Structure 1
């Protein structure tokens, strides 16, 4: 089952985010993230924030969550990060979402199925955060901000989604510092059947020479 796109909610989230974040510089990626969250209509939005990061992504996700009536959880590394995050959100007059403090393994084990997740590419545990996420039966949209840093750290979706998940679609968007986006879903029996089918031996006859060529498909 695929996620259902809602253009109405996406446009509302986008417009409200543009209005709210127009005073910030380098906020172009925030509107896109907010619109994507609004369009996919997740029941749970997860963000992994990093100390020193721009707070606008959180503002945009908060706007989308309010339009959707969705649960919005932000993961921070420690108490210092929690205080800095709360201060930044309060300074901009934005509601502070549900905050969770802890390492990737502990935090992700306590969260239910993920449908929409945004991780700051500067976090050292970004691979673990994505890898430990329990995907919804509908699949999940995963985003990595500060993509230049992701690239420097050798980031790749195949490295983080694990054997139980399948990368359906991925893209790199040149906004902000780069935005990595992926749609991932759990592997099903039909996927295994497709792999078996594609692994069969295939025979082809060269019409000009009459030679028989055998290769694995």
Structure 2
């Protein structure tokens, strides 16, 4: 089944994430990723996280999963990260995560099939392995790299980190937070995203700089 954009769901997830993340210091990124994950009606949302990392994006993805009746899975490298993640989600957002798995990111993501939406932190050493080994949904998927500005400046390219034969239907770099690199991957070499759905543009205003960003979901 091809991914189809649902603008109403995206808007609701965006608003709820703004409310949930208003006290966090990660402006822009959680709201955008939440809106995109919900807008694509993602049923399996996967992220990687390590101890000390910002938690706001995780909150946004959990909000998105609640709107799509989907699963939100977090991959962490060790027990310390697992405990820190669960504690932060409970104390800062009142969310009790149930799908937190511990181990090597590349190995774990290879055991999870049907990923619709995947978020990695490009500051983590294993981010490329997670992207490369992810078992994506037959209907295509959305991949997002946080903290991508430095990687972008060093010449980052999606075809360097994805399996040979994986077709990037389209990609965009957004100057939000410390940079978001987003790719839409088609299924079996095809563009799996419906181009018939209206209202696929997302408008976002950076709360710090006042800059307006408009991009296609």
SS in 1 for 2:61: helix
Once the two structures are superposed, the pairs formed by residues 143-182 of structure 1 within 5 Å of their partners are 143-151=144-152, 155-182=156-183
Uncovered stretches (5+) of structure 1, i.e. residues with no partner: 191-217
Does the CA contact (< 8 Å) of 1:50 and 1:122 recur in 2? Answer: no
- Give the structure 2 partner of residue 194 of structure 1: none
CA distance 1:188–1:78, change in 2 (3 Å): same
Shift of residue 106, structure 1, vs aligned partner: 2.1
Separation of aligned partners in 1, 2:85 and 2:27: 18
Q: CA deviation at 1:189?
A: 8.6
TM-score by structure 1 length? Answer: 0.82
Give deviations 1:112-164, integer Å, cap 9, x for gaps: 12110000111100010000011211111000011124336753211112113
Alignment of 1:36-185 (within 5 A): 36-92=36-92, 93-151=94-152, 155-185=156-186
Contact 2:143–2:182 (8 Å) recurs in 1: yes
Tell me the residue number matched to 2:22: 22
Give me the whole-angstrom Cα distance separating, in 1, the residues matched to 2:21 and 2:167: 34
TM-score normalised according to structure 2 size: 0.82
Q: Is the 8 A contact 1:161 1:167 kept in 2?
A: no
Distance 1:189 1:114 in 2: 17
**CA positional deviation for 1:2:** 3.9
| Bigger relative contact order (CA 8 A; separation at least 6) | 2
User: Cα gap change, 1:149/1:77 in structure 2, threshold over 3 Å: closer, same or farther?
Assistant: farther
1:47/1:74 contact within 8 Å kept? yes
What secondary structure, in the 3-state scheme, does the structure 1 residue paired with 2:82 have? helix
Corresponding pairs, count: 190
8 Å CA contact 2:142–2:182 kept in 1: the answer is yes
Q: Where does structure 2 lack aligned partners over 5 or more consecutive residues?
A: 192-217
Q: Deviations over 1:84-130 (max 9, x none)?
A: 11121122122324101111332022201211000011110001000
* Distance (Å, rounded) in 2 between the aligned partners of 1:84 and 1:131: 26
Change (3 A) 1:187 1:36: same
Contact 2:107 2:133 in 1 (8 A): no
Quote the Cα distance in structure 2 between the aligned partners of 1:48 and 1:34: 15
Contact 1:166-1:185 within 8 A present in 2 as well: yes
Moved more, 68-77 or 156-165: 156-165
